[in-house]
């Protein structure tokens, strides 16, 4: 049994799985139930001035028969009284001293207001504070949430206000609705933040009803852009997390968020530098008990790989994330179709023919439906393998080009020395 | 007529026993199933369908919620999409060709998906009928003899091309075997007539209870029309040719099936113990329905063995599940009884050398006679060929087995003005084969009368491949 416990910026947790600040962390009762089922930590649904919500708040993006590939919401921060939340945080922390309780906060952009609120949260016994500088809807129109997180200067200013009085570690939650979240991460670091968490939700309109022309979710015939999350956003989140993790000017721990639904997702976020991972949509879809497999799967994977503790593998993929210009242009792979596994759908053919490089032909002559790879034309793009409905039927086989690795950067450098040097790779037709 | 009638069932039991054997999809499930389709290129299911419906295309449209487009994709290629969705032997055709079979996964339920779209089309007839209009009149006339699937398909496509088409049929209702000869739990007569409505909508005239050669002379028909399509199907059930055949209580399968569709079930008489002679697909329809009507014992007698049986595997399964008992290598020798059937004397058979059909010929085992007690005998030895009508009345050439001789591509008969298709040419196949024939005959008639090589959807097997692949090959070559 591996040791799953983590310590992120001084916040300790029995495992890296946290509930993100969202409806699943709306109350003490919910969070305590989640802790009973195994969640390591929870970021309390954002505290702030009491708000009024609309009805009709969520909408999902289905893909084929799969429900909720993506979820969007226009719900605001907590709708419960400040005092109730504070009381329940105290109670929860008392009952669950080993679990991480982090309080998300969003306060009017005034120094005194922040000071007053943070001082009160300091007293709850919570393990940390997360500054919600990410919500892209509603609160941003009032100068909070993403309105702060989209401007590095504002982020820095408010983080400094919080750090002036906070007695627990402070995480700054970043919005993905910026060109480069690392710039905002640097501002948080400069202001003394102890860690960052990302990504918050992505600005989105989920769809338009073809009969009423109203957007979804539909509030009395009208709608507004909302925050998009769920499995669909995972690749965007992984990119942003890794970008922040690679940035030497940030250099503080990261809590990764964005479409985490399984232990594999969590491991990926950890491999690109997350110490804890936060989950919301998957819980909104299936309930708290998904954490059972997350813990079990992570543990089994760590045992299998021989990792005793999470720090053994956190960030291990980062050295492999490079600029395009550093990739080896002499790396050559070619598609190979296993005729035993091929079921003859010919999707690889039409995908290559219409959608890529016309390098998979039909076996028209002998009546076989196993397509043929035209090897010299294959650019190793992977598309055929990706569309093939049978696992393992199409594999990309490495081919020795006899050339030593050379990246675009290396080639440019080489050209400087020898203008007639041979270009790497090969010329496509 | 029948001495021991099976007791009547409750209304609930009738309803349950004759309920749709393959109930329609709920919308959500149809969408789920549609989304499972891989959208194969040059799809094997489309190739396997005799009418070459563009199956991945119509399934994709179910997934996207475009039911009108989906139904049109089906009906363009197969105007009898409703009945084919219900009665096609899909295991042997489209679903049998689905690439999922190669993955040891369930094939896409193409038949049920097709039913989902086409049922929707017909259920919303007023909003959908504008999709089909008769073509601009070209002043030419075509007569169709018989109103079964082949004629309906020919008439529909010819009407679309601008012909004035009249269908002549001897039955009271149009639709041929679709209306009269299919088990009630597969398709009702009303459902069959729904499709006829679409052909009528195209301006095709139906002359029912009209027998060619009696009501109307063949010569007049020939003179009045530019072409004639013969879609007369097959004749009555073959006789047993054994003593006692005329004893009351001996009925033929088609009459029995027809009665089941035409009458309230309570009024259809069935014996307590029923012997069905023959083991084809019609035999299954008769045997299972006798059982479902309340017969206590249904025995199916077949002179060859289980592996020689002509019924489709899934039909045989229905009969077995219904509790019908099969007597293989058993031939009837004589029906026993005076005023009514009391039993049937049978003889055991053994398999000998292959006969003309290539199947081993059964030979009686001497001294193996035995009697099965029964109250009713249903003859189901296949339908008679209509050689006499074909040769004497229509003056067309028939082959040794009584089928109309046609040019395989054009379906033109020995009389160049006459075309033929469906069971009278094929000798007893599926609705979908008849539809394919009707469509092909429409193409050939049009080509002969106008010279135009018209492209009817799904006319040729390789059409899609030719259209999609060759164009691409041309562009990229």
pLDDT tens profile A354-398: 999 899 998 866 778 999 999 999 999 999 999 999 999 999 999
Q: Determine whether the interchain pair B103/A389 forms a contact, defined as Cβ–Cβ distance below 8 Å.
A: yes
CATH of domain B23-131: 1.10.1060.10
Predicted local distance difference test score (pLDDT) of residue B476: 37
Residue at which a domain ends, from A287, A320, A353: A320
* Residue B241: closest CA among B392, B384, B391: B384
Nearest to A345 among B32, B40, B469 (CB): B40
Q: Determine whether the interchain pair B44/A369 forms a contact, defined as Cβ–Cβ distance below 8 Å.
A: yes
Name the burial class of residue A320, with classes exposed (0-12), middle (13-18) and buried (19+) by CB atoms within 10 angstroms of its CB.
Answer: exposed
Q: Two tokens at B149?
A: 């699937």
* Residue ranges of A 339-358 with Cβ closer than 8 A to chain B: 342-347, 349-350, 353-354, 358
Indicate the number of domains in chain A: 2
In a domain, A426, yes or no: no
Q: Determine whether the interchain pair A358/B476 forms a contact, defined as Cβ–Cβ distance below 8 Å.
A: yes
Q: Which residue of A has its CA nearest to B30?
A: A65
Residue at which a domain ends, from A293, A320, A347: A320
Contacts of B455 (CB under 8 A, 6+ apart): B463
Give the closest-approach CA distance of A371 to chain B in angstroms. Answer: 11
Residue at which a domain ends, from A291, A320, A349: A320
Nearest to B40 among A346, A353, A362 (CB): A346
Nearest to B42 among A65, A346, A390 (CB): A346
Contacts of A67 in chain B (CB under 8 A): none
* Residue B176: closest CA among B163, B189, B165: B189
In a domain, A112, yes or no: yes
pLDDT for A109 beyond 80? yes
In a domain, A427, yes or no: no
C-alpha B158 chain-centroid distance: 21
In a domain, A19, yes or no: yes
Could you tell me if A213 and A351 lie in one domain? no
Mean pLDDT of A44-61: 95
Could you tell me if A66 and A105 lie in one domain? yes
Mean pLDDT of A67-71: 96
Give the closest-approach CA distance of A228 to chain B in angstroms. Answer: 23
Give the closest-approach CA distance of A370 to chain B in angstroms. Answer: 12
In the three-class reduction of DSSP (H, G, I as helix; E, B as strand; rest coil), residue B381 is classed as coil
d(CA B230, CA B447): 18
Could you tell me if A305 and A344 lie in one domain? no
In a domain, A156, yes or no: yes
Predicted local distance difference test score (pLDDT) of residue B80: 98
Question: pLDDT 10s digit of each residue in chain B, 477 long?
Answer: 788 999 999 999 999 999 999 999 999 999 999 999 999 998 999 999 999 999 999 999 999 999 999 999 999 999 999 999 999 999 999 999 999 999 889 999 999 999 999 999 999 999 999 999 999 999 999 999 999 999 999 999 999 999 999 999 999 999 999 999 999 999 999 999 999 999 999 999 999 999 999 999 999 999 999 999 999 999 989 999 999 999 999 999 999 999 998 899 999 999 999 999 999 999 999 999 999 999 999 999 999 999 999 999 999 999 999 999 999 999 999 999 999 999 999 999 999 888 877 888 899 999 999 999 999 999 999 998 899 999 999 999 999 989 999 999 999 999 999 999 999 999 999 999 999 999 999 999 999 999 999 988 888 765 544 444 444 443 333
* Residue ranges of A 43-72 with Cβ closer than 8 A to chain B: 64-65
Q: Determine whether the interchain pair A345/B476 forms a contact, defined as Cβ–Cβ distance below 8 Å.
A: no
Contacts of A349 in chain B (CB under 8 A): 41
* Residue A284: closest CA among A28, A6, A34: A34
Predicted local distance difference test score (pLDDT) of residue A428: 59
Could you tell me if A338 and A316 lie in one domain? no
CATH of domain B141-235+384-450: 3.50.50.60
Nearest to B41 among A346, A389, A390 (CB): A346
Mean pLDDT of A120-139: 95
Which of A346, A365, A370, A393 best tests the B interface by mutation, with the highest count of B CBs <10 A? Answer: A346
Q: Do domains B23-131 and B263-379 have the same CATH topology?
A: no
In a domain, A137, yes or no: yes
Could you tell me if A376 and A352 lie in one domain? yes
Could you tell me if A312 and A335 lie in one domain? no
d(CA A34, CA A47): 19
Could you tell me if A23 and A106 lie in one domain? yes
Q: Determine whether the interchain pair A344/B103 forms a contact, defined as Cβ–Cβ distance below 8 Å.
A: no
d(CA B303, CA B280): 12
d(CA B142, CA A133): 77
CB-based contact, A173 to chain B, within 8 Å = no
Q: Which domain holds residue A109?
A: 6-320
Q: Which residue of A has its CA nearest to B32?
A: A65
Could you tell me if A111 and A204 lie in one domain? yes
Kindly report the CATH number assigned to the domain that includes residue A346.
3.30.70.20
Among residues of chain A, what percentage have pLDDT more than 90? 90
Predicted local distance difference test score (pLDDT) of residue B423: 96
Q: Two tokens at B37?
A: 């389709």
d(CA A198, CA A240): 8
Kindly report the CATH number assigned to the domain that includes residue A166.
3.20.20.70
Contacts of A345 in chain B (CB under 8 A): 38, 40-41, 99
Contacts of A402 (CB under 8 A, 6+ apart): none
pLDDT for A237 beyond 60? yes
Contacts of B146 (CB under 8 A, 6+ apart): B167, B168, B169, B176, B230, B231, B232, B233, B422, B424
Contacts of B103 in chain A (CB under 8 A): 343, 389-390
In a domain, A12, yes or no: yes
Q: Determine whether the interchain pair A390/B38 forms a contact, defined as Cβ–Cβ distance below 8 Å.
A: no
Contacts of B99 in chain A (CB under 8 A): 343-345
CB B387 within 8 A of CB B412: no
Contacts of A388 in chain B (CB under 8 A): none
Mean pLDDT of A143-150: 91
Nearest to B99 among A64, A345, A354 (CB): A345
Predicted local distance difference test score (pLDDT) of residue A402: 87
Could you tell me if A189 and A299 lie in one domain? yes
d(CA B149, CA B84): 10
> Which residues in B have their CB inside 8 Å of a CB on A?
31-32, 35-36, 38-42, 44, 63, 99-100, 102-103, 469, 472, 476
CB-based contact, A391 to chain B, within 8 Å = no
For chain B, the domains span 23-131, 141-235+384-450, 263-379
How many A/B residue pairs have CB atoms within 8 Å? Answer: 38
DSSP secondary structure code for residue A389 in this structure = S
* Range of weakest confidence among A28-42, A91-105, B462-476: B462-476
Alpha helix segments (H runs only) across B364-460? 387-388, 423-426, 431-450
Nearest to A343 among B31, B102, B476 (CB): B102
Give the closest-approach CA distance of B473 to chain A in angstroms. Answer: 9
In a domain, A311, yes or no: yes
User: Does domain B263-379 fall into CATH 3.50.50.60?
Assistant: yes
* Residue ranges of A 362-381 with Cβ closer than 8 A to chain B: 362, 369
Let me know if A135 is a catalytic residue: yes
Which of A344, A347, A349, A359 best tests the B interface by mutation, with the highest count of B CBs <10 A? Answer: A344
Q: Two tokens at B41?
A: 């290129």
Residue B30 φ then ψ, to 5°? -60, -45
d(CA B216, CA B168): 9
Q: Determine whether the interchain pair B40/A65 forms a contact, defined as Cβ–Cβ distance below 8 Å.
A: no
d(CA B216, CA A317): 86
Query: pLDDT by residue (tens digit) across A167-223?
Result: 999 999 999 999 999 999 999 999 999 999 999 999 999 999 999 999 999 999 999
Could you tell me if A11 and A101 lie in one domain? yes
């Amino acid at each position: 049994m591996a040791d799953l416990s983590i310590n992120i910026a001084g916040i300790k947790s029995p495992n890296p799985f946290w509930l993100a600040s969202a409806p699943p962390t709306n109350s003490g009762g919910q969070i305590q139930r989640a802790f009973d089922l195994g969640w390591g930590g929870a970021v309390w649904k954002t505290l702030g001035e009491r708000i009024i919500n609309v009805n009709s708040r969520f909408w999902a993006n289905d893909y084929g028969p799969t429900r909720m590939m993506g979820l969007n919401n226009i719900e605001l921060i907590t709708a419960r009284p400040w005092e109730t939340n504070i009381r329940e945080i105290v109670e929860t922390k008392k009952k669950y001293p080993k679990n991480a309780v982090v309080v998300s906060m969003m306060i009017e952009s005034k120094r005194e207001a922040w000071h007053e609120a943070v001082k009160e949260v300091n007293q709850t016994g919570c393990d940390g504070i997360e500054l919600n500088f990410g919500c892209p809807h509603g609160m941003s129109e009032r100068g909070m949430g993403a309105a702060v997180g989209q401007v590095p200067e504002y982020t820095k200013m408010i983080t400094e206000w919080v750090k002036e009085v906070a007695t627990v570690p402070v995480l700054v939650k970043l919005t993905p609705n910026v060109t480069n979240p690392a710039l905002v991460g640097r501002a948080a670091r400069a202001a003394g933040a102890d860690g960052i968490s990302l990504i918050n939700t992505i600005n989105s309109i989920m769809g338009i009803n073809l009969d009423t022309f109203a957007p979804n979710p539909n509030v009395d015939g009208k709608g507004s852009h909302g925050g998009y999350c769920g499995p669909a956003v995972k690749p965007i989140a992984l990119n942003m997390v890794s970008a922040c993790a690679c940035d030497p000017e940030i250099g503080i721990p990261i809590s990764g968020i964005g479409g985490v639904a399984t232990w594999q997702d969590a491991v990926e976020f950890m491999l690109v530098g997350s110490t804890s991972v936060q989950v919301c949509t998957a819980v909104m879809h299936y309930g708290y008990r998904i954490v059972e497999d997350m813990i079990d799967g992570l543990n089994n994977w760590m045992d299998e790989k021989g990792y005793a503790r999470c720090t053994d593998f956190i960030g291990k993929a980062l050295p492999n994330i490079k600029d395009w210009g550093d990739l080896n242009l002499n790396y050559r792979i070619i598609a190979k179709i296993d005729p035993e596994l091929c079921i003859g759908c010919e999707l690889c053919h039409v995908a290559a023919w219409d959608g890529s490089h016309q390098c998979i032909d039909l076996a028209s002559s002998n009546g076989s439906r196993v397509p043929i790879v035209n090897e010299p034309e294959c650019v190793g793009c992977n598309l055929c393998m990706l569309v093939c409905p049978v696992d393992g039927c199409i594999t990309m086989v490495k081919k020795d080009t006899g050339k030593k690795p050379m990246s675009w950067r290396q080639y440019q450098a080489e050209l400087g020395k020898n203008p007639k040097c041979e270009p790497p790779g090969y010329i496509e037709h | 007529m029948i001495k021991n009638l099976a007791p009547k069932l409750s209304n609930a039991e009738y309803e349950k026993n004759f309920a749709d054997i393959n109930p329609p999809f709920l919308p959500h499930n149809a969408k789920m199933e549609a989304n499972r389709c891989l959208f194969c290129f040059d799809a094997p299911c489309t190739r396997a369908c005799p009418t070459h419906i563009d199956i991945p295309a119509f399934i994709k449209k179910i997934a996207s919620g475009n039911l009108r487009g989906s139904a049109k994709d089906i009906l363009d290629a197969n105007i009898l999409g409703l009945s084919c969705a219900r009665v096609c032997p899909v295991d042997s055709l489209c679903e049998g060709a689905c690439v999922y079979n190669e993955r040891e996964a369930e094939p896409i339920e193409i038949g049920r998906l097709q039913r989902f779209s086409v049922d929707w089309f017909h259920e919303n007839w007023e909003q959908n009928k504008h999709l089909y209009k008769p073509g601009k009149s070209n002043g030419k006339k075509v007569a169709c003899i018989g109103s079964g699937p082949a004629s309906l398909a020919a008439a529909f496509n010819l009407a679309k091309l601008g012909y004035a088409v009249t269908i002549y049929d001897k039955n009271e209702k149009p639709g041929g075997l679709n209306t009269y000869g299919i088990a009630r739990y597969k398709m009702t007569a009303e459902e069959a007539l729904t499709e006829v409505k679409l052909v009528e909508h195209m301006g095709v005239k139906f002359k029912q209870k009209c027998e060619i050669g009696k009501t109307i002379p063949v010569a007049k028909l020939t003179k009045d029309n530019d072409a004639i399509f013969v879609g007369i199907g097959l004749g009555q059930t073959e006789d047993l040719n054994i003593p006692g055949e005329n004893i009351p209580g001996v009925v033929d399968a088609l009459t029995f099936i027809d009665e089941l569709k035409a009458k309230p079930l309570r009024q259809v008489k069935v014996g307590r113990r029923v012997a069905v002679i023959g083991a084809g697909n019609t035999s299954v329809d008769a045997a299972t329905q006798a059982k479902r009507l309340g017969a206590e014992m249904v025995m199916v007698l077949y002179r060859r063995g289980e592996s020689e049986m002509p019924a489709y595997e899934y039909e045989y399964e229905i009969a077995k599940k219904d509790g019908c008992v099969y007597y293989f290598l058993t031939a009837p020798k004589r029906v026993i009884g005076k005023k009514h059937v009391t039993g049937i004397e049978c003889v055991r058979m053994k398999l000998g050398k292959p006969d003309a059909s290539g199947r081993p010929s059964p030979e009686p085992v001497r001294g193996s006679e035995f009697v099965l007690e029964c109250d009713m005998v249903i003859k189901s030895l296949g339908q008679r060929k209509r050689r006499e009508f074909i040769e004497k009345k229509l003056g067309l050439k028939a082959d040794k087995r009584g089928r109309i001789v046609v040019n395989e591509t054009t379906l033109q008969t020995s009389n160049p003005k006459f075309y033929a298709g469906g069971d009278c040419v094929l000798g007893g196949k599926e609705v979908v084969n008849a539809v394919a024939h009707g469509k092909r005959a429409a193409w050939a008639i049009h080509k002969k009368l106008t010279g135009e090589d018209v492209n009817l959807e799904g006319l040729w097997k390789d059409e899609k491949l030719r259209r999609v692949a060759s164009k691409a090959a041309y562009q990229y070559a």
